Structure 1
Amino acid sequence: MNYPEIKVIRAFQYYTVLARDGVLPVEAVREYQADDDIRGLLEKFSNAVDCVIINTSEAMYLVPRTKLSPFHVSNDWIKRRYLRTAATNTDIYLLYFATIVLFGSFFDRYNSEEQTIQFLRLDDWVKHINERVNFLQSHEEEDLIAYEKEFSYNWRAIIDKWEDMDDIKETAKKQTGNTISRLSFVDTVKRFLISQQLIRELGNEEITITEKAKIIVQRFFMEAEYNKGIFEFIYGFKGDEA
Structure 2
Amino acid sequence: MMYHNEQVIQAFNLYSKLSARGYGEKNELRLYLADDAIRGLVDQFAKEVDCAVISAGDYIYLIPISMGSIFHVSNDTIKRTYLPSKAVNLDIYLMYVAIIILFGEFYDSYQTIEATRDFISLEDWLISINERILSLKELGIEELKELEKEYEYNWVSIVEKWDAMDDIKENVKAQNARTISRMSFLNTVKKFLEAEELVRDIGNDEIELTEKAKTIIQRYYMELEYNRGILEFMYQLDKRKEEEKDAGHF
Shift of residue 76, structure 1, vs aligned partner: 1.1
**Cα distance in 1 for residues equivalent to 2:24 and 2:171:** 40
Shift of residue 171, structure 1, vs aligned partner: 7.5
Q: Say whether residues 1:83 and 2:72 are aligned partners.
A: no
Instruction: Render the CA deviation track for 1:185-214: whole Å, top value 9, x for unaligned.
Output: 000000001111111111111101111111
Instruction: Work out whether residues 56 and 212 of structure 1, in 8 Å CA contact, stay in contact via their aligned partners in 2.
Output: yes
Unaligned runs of 5+ in 2: 241-250
**Cα distance in 1 for residues equivalent to 2:119 and 2:130:** 19
Q: 2:49 maps to which residue?
A: 49
**Cα distance in 2 for residues equivalent to 1:174 and 1:48:** 51
Shift of residue 145, structure 1, vs aligned partner: 0.2
Change in Cα spacing, 1:81 to 1:214, as seen in structure 2 (3 Å) is same
Structure 1 letter corresponding to 2:109: R
**Cα distance in 2 for residues equivalent to 1:156 and 1:60:** 39
Q: Which has the larger radius of gyration?
A: 2
Q: 1:99 maps to which residue?
A: 99
**Cα distance in 2 for residues equivalent to 1:8 and 1:208:** 38
Instruction: Render the CA deviation track for 1:112-133: whole Å, top value 9, x for unaligned.
Output: 1110010011111111110110
TM-score (norm 2): 0.89
Change in Cα spacing, 1:55 to 1:173, as seen in structure 2 (3 Å) is farther
Q: Say whether residues 1:222 and 2:222 are aligned partners.
A: yes
Instruction: Render the CA deviation track for 1:13-66: whole Å, top value 9, x for unaligned.
Output: 211121111001021454222201220110111011111111113111111111
3-state secondary structure, aligned to 1:236 = helix
3-state secondary structure, aligned to 1:235 = helix
Change in Cα spacing, 1:179 to 1:23, as seen in structure 2 (3 Å) is farther
Instruction: Render the CA deviation track for 1:212-235: whole Å, top value 9, x for unaligned.
Output: 111111111111222222111111
Shift of residue 170, structure 1, vs aligned partner: 6.2
Change in Cα spacing, 1:47 to 1:136, as seen in structure 2 (3 Å) is same
Q: How does 1:100-139 map to 2 (within 5 A)?
A: 100-139=100-139
TM-score (norm 1): 0.91
Instruction: Work out whether residues 24 and 61 of structure 1, in 8 Å CA contact, stay in contact via their aligned partners in 2.
Output: yes
Instruction: Work out whether residues 66 and 226 of structure 2, in 8 Å CA contact, stay in contact via their aligned partners in 1.
Output: no
Q: How does 1:5-20 map to 2 (within 5 A)?
A: 5-20=5-20
- Number of residue equivalences: 238
**Cα distance in 1 for residues equivalent to 2:164 and 2:179:** 13
Q: 1:69 maps to which residue?
A: 69
**Cα distance in 2 for residues equivalent to 1:55 and 1:67:** 21
Structure 2 letter corresponding to 1:119: F
Instruction: Work out whether residues 14 and 32 of structure 2, in 8 Å CA contact, stay in contact via their aligned partners in 1.
Output: no
Shift of residue 164, structure 1, vs aligned partner: 0.7
Instruction: Work out whether residues 98 and 129 of structure 1, in 8 Å CA contact, stay in contact via their aligned partners in 2.
Output: yes
**Cα distance in 2 for residues equivalent to 1:174 and 1:200:** 28
Computed over aligned residues only, the root mean square deviation of the Cα atoms, in angstroms, reads: 2.2
Unaligned runs of 5+ in 1: none
Q: 2:160 maps to which residue?
A: 160
**Cα distance in 1 for residues equivalent to 2:41 and 2:173:** 50
Instruction: Render the CA deviation track for 1:128-150: whole Å, top value 9, x for unaligned.
Output: 11011011011021110011111
**Cα distance in 2 for residues equivalent to 1:92 and 1:19:** 25
